[in-house]
Amino acid sequence: MSRILKKRIYAFIVDLGVIYFLKFFTLILYLKTISFFLTAIPLENKEKLFTNITLLDKYLLIVIFTGYFLSCFFITNGRTIGKFLFNLKLVSKKEDGILLDQYLIRTFTYLFCYLNGLFLLLIPLVTKNGKGLPDWLSGTMVVYDSEERIKQSEYIQNEAFDLKKIL
């Protein structure tokens, strides 16, 4: 297993931890709101709100999962907390930057893989290049952030000393 694949796994575990923390916090807030602030609601209606918590739990996972990754796209250009901690960056194979449709495909493919059993997330462990279903479908790949910075600085350096553009 390559070093970057290990870091990707650790980063995804951190991201799942953040997602589950947000989901847990939201459920606790929901339960506290029902029990303390909605005292005027009859007891039988409160029981219905409490019994539907398993359904709410599943919907919350989907909403928070997609919301977390999409907010990371808009705020940090695809760097989640896990990727930030392990110095990883998401880049497009075709474009200079990640496009929204690529990130949406990546996010929903991860969600599909996660909801249908973790075995789909194990695909990178058996492929030679360490790419998974979200990487293939979205046309993106995860690299070390320092590698991307080196490429950008080489590009800037080459552009600055390109005599064809000057003449």
- 55: Cα separation from own chain's centroid: 23
Single-letter code of the amino acid located at 129: N
Q: What is the pTM of this model?
A: 0.78
The string of DSSP letters for 115-163 reads HT-GGGGGHHHHSSS---HHHHHHTEEEEEHHHHHHHHHHHHHHHHT-H
Domain boundaries, the chain: 3-166
pLDDT in tens, the chain (167 residues): 789 999 999 999 999 999 999 999 999 998 888 777 777 777 777 777 777 788 888 899 999 999 999 999 889 888 999 999 999 998 998 877 788 899 999 999 999 998 988 788 888 888 888 889 999 999 999 999 875 555 544 444 455 455 455 54
Can you point out the beta strands (E) in 4-152?
A: 88-92, 140-144
